[in-house]
Amino acid sequence: MNRTLNNQRLADDLVRPLFHTSVWFYAIVVAAGTVVACGAGAWGFQLWYGIGLSGKRWPTFWALYLTNFVFWIGISHAGTLISAILRLVNAGWRRPVTRCAEVITVFALMIGAMFPIIHLGRPWLAFWLFPYPSSREIWPNFRSPLAWDFFAINTYLTGSVLFLFLPMIPDLALVRDRSTGWRRTIYGALSFGWRGTTKQWNRLETAMQIMAVAILPVAVSVHTIVSFDFSMANVPMWHSTIFGPYFVAGAIFSGIAGLILAMAALRKALHLEHYLLPLHFDNLGKLLLLMCILWGYFVFNERLTVWYGNEPTEMAVFWATQRGDYAPLYWTMVIGNFVLPLAILANPKTRTILGTVIASCGVVIGMWLERFLIVVPSLTHKQLPYSWGTYWPTPVELFIMAATFAGMILLYTLFAKFVPIISIWEMKAGLPSRMDRAVLAEERLQSTRLDAEPLPARVGPEGP
Amino acid sequence: MKAIYGLYDDPHVAQQAVDNLRAAGVADAEITVISSEPFDHFEFGHRDAKTAMPWIATGAGAVGLVLTYYLLGLSQRAWPLVTSGMPIAPNWTNLIIIFEMTMLSAIIATVITLLVTAGIPSRGGKMYDPEVSDGYILVGVESPADASKLEPALAIDGGRVKKT
Amino acid sequence: MPFRWGMAVDLDKCTGCEACVTACHAENNIPTVSAQQAARGRAMHWIRVERYYEGDFPDVRVKFRPVLCQHCDNAPCESVCPTYAAHHNEDGLNAQVYNRCIGTRYCANACTYNVRFFNFFNPEWPKPLHLQLNPDVSVREVGVMEKCTFCVQRIKAAKTAAKAEKRVIVDGALQPACAQACPTTAIVFGDLNDPESRVARLARSPRGTKLLEDLGAEPKITYLQKQPWYESNAQ
């Protein structure tokens, strides 16, 4: 088959959403935009009347906002895993998936990073977390986990934005070449005058390799540092050494689930059936299964240690989650995070697109509940029983939370409208026709060995 | 003449064109190959792959490490406030911020090096053909000294020659 | 020698009358909240009297324990504040600097005694109650964390007067509002660094224990009681 035609069709399919707008786009933007506006209004109320409009109280000083903070930062770990790790191990099937994942990371981080500001008592002074010598000649307290949060999240956000934007440049150049008028000017500016000389490609790929190596430890450190917000305090069932790895595993878990949902939506909405194949959902489903088992392992570890130690303050929290007030949420979480994904994903026959989507919905709900069950039950059952309390969310908190989900949908939709959501140049580079005959021959030889791994899928219009 | 180049849809033919240009006496640095995707497996794709970028990133990370260490130590000792009986500049906690700033320095240095060495953002005016975006590979020479010698080198089977 | 302010609370003398709570409110301009807000857990009692019931009818006993900021030497609340609003001052007090507080509320979560309180709304004093505000104490705005300061305004005043008059602070002359109001003198305040002060002698008493001592926060309030203390989860 004529390779240029393949390339053409690839570019055509992936650029089409930028030039053709369906009515669904407007519907989603309007609907999501409305919810976001309501949330912004709710926050405005809260800024005006005081943080007392939220449900927080003595002793539950952290509740829904912190839950959402940890949840969204967790979702942001999708991009790093898929993009960076799979890029580093040269897994070819990652090609159509990387940009979808990186976009989730950037937007989830931005949304998550808003919550530390939303939950502050005096948010107009949030800039004091920035390391600068104030007029009082005082710097932030670098011993505080919240100061570490500031550095970690900003580093990860910078790294992720660059990790997303740099490989976008060649695609923006492609869109520039295909557009006219004001579109051409804007995409021309955004593509930085990219031509595609071999030197530019070499530099870009080296930079991506370095960034992939750099962003992995940053991602692990970010959610570990978020977990330090809890484990550094002497609160029952917070003060646990397992929190670092537990949170990172949970983050990757929820991130993959979020990615599967986003990919399924894109596949339907932008008619990407030839690019986001059942194979991708199958592979991601296997990863999701792995993380599901890993999550179960961590939870078992944590709970067994607490139950075996039988320490009264910790057991109060333990029973509150397992049999007490929080039991309905706890068991929903177990079903959503463990039972349902395990049942669906362990069986290859049910590991279809629909199956992984259902499992992912369960995981997203389950992981949100897990964050909530980490934050609230421990605070409501601290060491002195006289100070035990309860917590109920208020409409302000729920509106803001709904607005963040709508905001994610809105940002994602807008992004998919203005930038090709699948990396065109990476797809082209993965087409078999583009590889050296020698490399192809070698790979075919390797695959004829009896103990060989199956070839990575060649993604193209012909299918795997 | 600003430039002479050929457009090819097969990378093997493009490689042949590059070799032809070399045989016609054009220096390697003057041969420009433009494509809409990287061709790492072909010689013309990785001929200028050597770069000091990883070393620059490592170096910048080291600089970030040292600077952050001193910044933290200095600022904490400038106004020593006792909290929880901890030392004023504890190494354990400072290590976390030092790690983040090291990685941030490496990342930013990588990006700056990329922008500088790739010559972006550029204002344009250099040799380019929008057909590259359709998947064709452009092999050419900017401001050629002797275009008549180069045209037969580029006019091989499977390619089209253009002059600007 | 620097001061080291501490307190001794005699649980055998405490009647649970809560005069200390009222005095603290009056002295420190602590805002009152509406009944609805109190039901939602927003009441701010820098010193509170915890009440535990023990046993079944007719052998019920009630135990009272006034709980206030323990001014821990190893305070878990201090290092978690990102803006140094909570720190340890040279007198050994756990200082809360209202101006630096941005309201992350991490300190309140880290406090194992739950003695930190947050201004969820801007406080209001309907006229003419605004006339009873103590001019020596600031009024905190929304979003600021507050807690017992051992009446630092009285400590400062006593230190200033003593320095001006070139004398030492007499033990017992300087008292926070709660100690001053207590009808049974169950609350004793003073300088732990002065071995002859009442509070230092009471801190050495065999009847003395510290609250949640095994957590290692090193609280500076000694609770004196003759009977062993039973915690019960029922109220």
Q: Which domains does chain C have, with CATH numbers?
A: 5-224 (3.30.70.20)
DSSP code, position A305:
H
List beta partners, residue B33.
Answer: B139
Whether residues B109 and B58 share a domain: the answer is: yes
Considering chain C, what percentage of its residues have pLDDT values greater than 70? 96
CA distances from A17 to A20, A24, A415 (A): 5, 12, 11
Report which of A55, A69, A169 is spatially closest to residue A117, judged by C-alpha positions: A69
A134 lies in some domain: yes
Chain B: residue whose CA lies nearest to C83: B81
Rounded-to-integer distance, Cα A264 and Cα A361, Å: 12
Three-class secondary structure of residue B33 per DSSP: strand
CA distances from C235 to A95, A386, C9, C67 (A): 61, 8, 22, 16
- A8 interaction partners in chain B (CB closer than 8 Å): 134-135
* Token representation of residue A66: 């912190």
* Token representation of residue A304: 């067994």
Chain A: residue whose CA lies nearest to C40: A57
- Smallest CA–CA separation between B99 and chain C, in Å? 19
Report which of C189, C160, C161 is spatially closest to residue C71, judged by C-alpha positions: C189
Q: Is B85 on the interface with C (CB under 8 A)?
A: yes
Whether residues B62 and B37 share a domain: the answer is: no
Residues of chain B predicted below pLDDT 70: none
Render pLDDT for C1-34 as a digit per residue (tens, 0 to 9).
899 999 999 999 999 999 999 999 999 999 989 8
List beta partners, residue C66.
Answer: C49
pLDDT of residue A379: 96
Rounded-to-integer distance, Cα A464 and Cα B134, Å: 23
- Smallest CA–CA separation between C147 and chain A, in Å? 13
pTM of the predicted structure, to 2 decimals: 0.92
Residue C153: phi, psi to the nearest 5?
Answer: -65, -35
Contact status, residue A159 vs residue A220, Cβ threshold 8 Å = no
* Token representation of residue A354: 């629909």
Contact status, residue A204 vs residue A169, Cβ threshold 8 Å = yes
A450 lies in some domain: no
Q: Is A316 on the interface with C (CB under 8 A)?
A: yes
Q: Please, what is the Cα angle at A446 between A440 and A449, to 5 degrees?
A: 145
Q: Is C36 on the interface with A (CB under 8 A)?
A: no
Do A217 and B72 count as a contact with CB atoms less than 8 A apart?
A: no
Do A204 and B99 count as a contact with CB atoms less than 8 A apart?
A: no
Residues of the domain holding A389: 3-434
A174 lies in some domain: yes
* Burial (CB count within 10 angstroms: exposed 0-12, middle 13-18, buried 19+), residue B76: buried
Whether residues B112 and B60 share a domain: the answer is: yes
Rounded-to-integer distance, Cα B150 and Cα B147, Å: 5
Whether residues B59 and B26 share a domain: the answer is: no
Mean pLDDT in consecutive groups of 10 residues from the start of chain A, 464 residues: 64 88 92 97 95 92 96 91 86 88 94 95 93 83 95 95 94 92 91 91 93 94 96 94 95 95 92 89 95 97 95 95 95 96 95 95 97 96 92 95 96 94 88 62 64 50 38
- Give residue for tokens 């931005």: A110
A382 lies in some domain: yes
Chain C: residue whose CA lies nearest to A136: C100
* Token representation of residue C154: 């009285």
ipTM over 0.95: no
**One-letter amino acid identity for A73?**
I
- Smallest CA–CA separation between B60 and chain C, in Å? 28
Do C84 and B83 count as a contact with CB atoms less than 8 A apart?
A: yes
Rounded-to-integer distance, Cα C212 and Cα C214, Å: 6
* Token representation of residue C135: 């001019």
Identify from A60, A132, A384, A391 which residue to disrupt to test chain C contact, counting C C-beta atoms within 10 A and taking the largest count: A384
Whether residues B57 and B46 share a domain: the answer is: no
- C87 interaction partners in chain B (CB closer than 8 Å): 81-83
Rounded-to-integer distance, Cα C7 and Cα C220, Å: 7
Segment (H or E) for B138:
strand B137-142
Residues of the domain holding B45: 3-50+125-163
Of C166 and A4, the one with more pLDDT: C166
Do C75 and B81 count as a contact with CB atoms less than 8 A apart?
A: no
Contact status, residue B31 vs residue B22, Cβ threshold 8 Å = yes
A441 lies in some domain: no
Distance between start and end Cα atoms, chain B: 6
Exposure string of A313-328, with b = 16+ CB inside 10 Å and e = fewer, is: bbbbbbbbbeeebbee
Q: Is A435 on the interface with C (CB under 8 A)?
A: no
- Smallest CA–CA separation between B86 and chain C, in Å? 8
pLDDT of residue B48: 80
Residue B164 contacts by C-beta under 8 Å, 6 or more apart in sequence? B1, B2, B3, B4, B127
> What is the secondary structure of A7-44 as a DSSP string?
HHHHHHHHHHHHH---HHHHHHHHHHHHHHHHHHHHHH
**One-letter amino acid identity for C167?**
R
**One-letter amino acid identity for A356?**
T
Q: Is A450 on the interface with C (CB under 8 A)?
A: no
- A143 interaction partners in chain B (CB closer than 8 Å): 83-84, 86, 90, 93
Q: Please, what is the Cα angle at A418 between A417 and A424, to 5 degrees?
A: 95
- C81 interaction partners in chain B (CB closer than 8 Å): 83
Whether residues B113 and B57 share a domain: the answer is: yes
- Smallest CA–CA separation between A151 and chain B, in Å? 6
Rounded-to-integer distance, Cα A11 and Cα A8, Å: 5
Residue B3: phi, psi to the nearest 5?
Answer: -165, 155
Question: Within 10 Å of residue A19's Cβ, how many Cβ atoms?
Answer: 10
Do B84 and C84 count as a contact with CB atoms less than 8 A apart?
A: no
Tally of domains in chain B: 2
Rounded-to-integer distance, Cα A51 and Cα C143, Å: 7
Whether residues B62 and B91 share a domain: the answer is: yes
Distance from the Cα of residue C184 to its chain's centroid = 18
Q: Is C123 on the interface with B (CB under 8 A)?
A: no
CATH number of the structural domain spanning residue A297: 1.20.1630.10
Q: Is A311 on the interface with C (CB under 8 A)?
A: no
Segment (H or E) for B108:
helix B91-118
Tally of domains in chain A: 1
* Token representation of residue C172: 């017992």
A133 sits in the region (left: phi over 0; alpha: psi -120 to 50; else beta) called: beta
List beta partners, residue B34.
Answer: A197, B138
Q: Is C186 on the interface with B (CB under 8 A)?
A: no
